[in-house]
């Protein structure tokens, strides 16, 4: 099976025929549909009522099927700050599935000054070696780790991760610009959120992310975690290939607004684009990358939307195969199709 449409291919933006062997450039045709390659979500805690931290294999299956139906091809199930025994249980239940490209450890090596909705009592310093965290940190499926680079021992942990090819991400951090610049991180967790803000006398973590062209910047573009104006600043400051859209979705994604539930031991309520603690604190999003793609396309154009939701995260994870799942757009209507016909 092959697909015809306008997309971002090896020769840039334009019309292509895409099949399992690659891309064939075609003459531009405004009548062709827009094709967006399968979404790659490097930061997702759950969806459709399933929390990946506590999910069984069968629950994973139902959530992955639902995500595939909205255009997902790959993802990193993401932890929250938790004791090592809970993370060990999460790793034991993580299925071997073609959509799962590894896992993302968000915490517990964070700043208590910027916990967001992360359980504050489980935050710890980066470990010495050896430690109870060794099995997790040496797990070959580990792809990303969020840490606060100003914490004692963070520099040692960044070196350890980098030596194994694991991406160290700065997040939930009170790092100054200088501390961030000296840290060796290559990624920023949900940029603008839960990090030391920009100030004209001390540019902070946010200032570092905006000005270092080698750092990938996650963007939760539900227009709640990050406003249009702040996203515009990020888009102007960063190279287009360094913006990585993430859902940061929780099990609330796909559930009806107003739904109340317990998540990570906290009482939360779902609103149209996010999930919040009862005091109003953001506790993650309730969008998928399909929603993020729509928002990015509307505000910044289809090319950036494709880069941020697929091309850039593929590059970050080293995924080189031709995307097998695509979303074909006719205006605002879409259908998810597969090169294999499945």
Active-site amino acid positions: 248
Q: 99-130 as b/e, with b when 16 or more CB fall inside 10 Å? A: bbbbbbbbbbbbbeebbbbbbeebbbebbeee
Which residue in 330, 297, 337, 327 sits closest to 32, CA to CA? 330
Structure tokens at 253: 């994604």
- Residue 85 vs residues 44, 55, 58, 133: alpha-carbon distances, Å: 21, 15, 21, 9
Q: Which residues contact 188 (CB under 8 A, 6 or more apart)?
A: 169, 170, 171, 195, 205, 209, 215, 216, 217, 218
Structure tokens at 245: 């859209």
Q: What is the DSSP letter of 320?
A: -
Q: What is the Cα–Cα distance from 272 to 255, expressed in whole angstroms?
A: 9
Structure tokens at 239: 């190279």
The pairs formed by 8-11 with CB atoms below 8 angstroms and a separation of 24 or more are 8/303, 8/306, 8/307, 8/311
């Amino acid at each position: 099976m092959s697909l015809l449409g306008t997309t971002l291919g090896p020769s840039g933006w334009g019309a292509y025929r895409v099949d399992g062997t690659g891309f064939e450039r075609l003459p531009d045709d405004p009548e062709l549909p827009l094709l967006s390659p399968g979404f790659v979500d490097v930061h997702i805690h759950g969806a459709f009522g399933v929390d990946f931290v506590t999910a069984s294999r069968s629950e994973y299956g139902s959530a992955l099927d639902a995500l595939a139906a909205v255009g997902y091809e790959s993802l990193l199930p993401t932890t929250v700050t938790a004791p090592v025994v809970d993370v060990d249980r999460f790793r034991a239940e993580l299925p071997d599935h073609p959509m799962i490209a590894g896992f993302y450890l968000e915490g517990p090596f964070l700043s208590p000054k910027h916990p967001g909705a992360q359980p504050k009592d489980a935050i710890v310093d980066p470990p010495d070696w050896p430690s109870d965290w060794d099995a997790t940190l040496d797990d070959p499926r580990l792809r990303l780790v969020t840490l606060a680079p100003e914490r004692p021992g963070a520099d040692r942990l960044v070196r350890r991760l980098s030596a194994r090819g694991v991406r160290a991400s700065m997040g939930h951090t009170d790092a100054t610009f200088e501390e961030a610049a000296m840290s060796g991180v290559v990624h920023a967790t949900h940029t603008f959120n839960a990090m030391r803000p920009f100030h004209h006398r001390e540019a902070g973590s946010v200032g570092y992310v905006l000005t270092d062209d080698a750092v990938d910047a996650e963007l939760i573009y539900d227009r709640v975690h990050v406003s249009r104006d702040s996203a515009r600043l990020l888009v102007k400051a960063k190279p287009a290939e360094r913006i990585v859209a993430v859902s940061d979705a929780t099990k609330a994604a796909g559930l009806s607004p107003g739904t109340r539930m317990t998540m990570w031991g906290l009482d939360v309520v779902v609103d149209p684009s996010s999930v919040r603690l009862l005091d109003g604190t953001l506790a993650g999003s309730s969008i998928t990358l399909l929603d993020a793609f729509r928002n990015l396309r509307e505000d910044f154009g289809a090319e950036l939307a494709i880069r941020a939701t697929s091309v850039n995260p593929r590059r970050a994870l080293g995924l080189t195969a031709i995307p097998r799942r695509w979303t074909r757009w006719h205006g605002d209507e879409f259908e998810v199709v597969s090169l294999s016909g499945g």
